[in-house]
Structure 1
Amino acid sequence: MSILAVNARNQFRGKVREIIEGPVVSEVDVETPSGLVVTSVITTRSVHELGLQVGRDVVALVKSTEVSIATL
């Protein structure tokens, strides 16, 4: 499936702001042009295979049917 086949509402273009690498999974923060930060937890292997590094242009693709919110 190409990126164009995914609903535009589920795509956030931006730049990698930070990568916190772990031995198995890593957190990748993507900052959109409007300043929104989207965080993804992906395998560290995927970080390397995608060649992710701070400053790289990427598209965060979101596939979710639910977002939970709790009050403090």
Structure 2
Amino acid sequence: MKLSARNQLPGTIKAINVGVVTAEVVIALSGGGEIVSVITKKSVESLGLTVGKKVYAVIKSTEVMVAID
């Protein structure tokens, strides 16, 4: 699959916390960090997401903010 999004971060699912409608998916990135995505419970099911599965965190945004202390 090819996507127009430039930010495609490979990783492995570390945890899935399922709620009534949505699920929080924690992805351990290859570089050592983590990223969390909130998606629908239905998407978790239809993608067959499970802990340990290799996935991509795909970030498509027109704006990225940078902050410092």
Q: Which position in structure 2 is the counterpart of 1:42?
A: 39
Structure with greater strand percent = 2
TM-score calculated relative to the size of structure 1: 0.80
Q: Please state whether the residue corresponding to 1:26 is helix, strand or coil.
A: strand
- Tell me the C-alpha RMSD between the 2 structures: 1.8
TM-score calculated relative to the size of structure 2: 0.83
How big is the shift at 1:68?
Answer: 4.7
User: Which has the higher mean CA deviation after the structures are superposed, 13-22 or 57-66?
Assistant: 57-66
Q: Which position in structure 2 is the counterpart of 1:27?
A: 24
How big is the shift at 1:35?
Answer: 1.2
How big is the shift at 1:62?
Answer: 0.6
Q: Deviations over 1:42-66 (max 9, x none)?
A: 0000001100010000011111223
Unaligned runs of 5+ in 2: none
Q: Which position in structure 1 is the counterpart of 2:48?
A: 51
Q: Deviations over 1:13-58 (max 9, x none)?
A: 0000010000100000111122110110000000011000100000
Q: Which position in structure 2 is the counterpart of 1:6?
A: 4
Unaligned runs of 5+ in 1: none
Identity %: 42
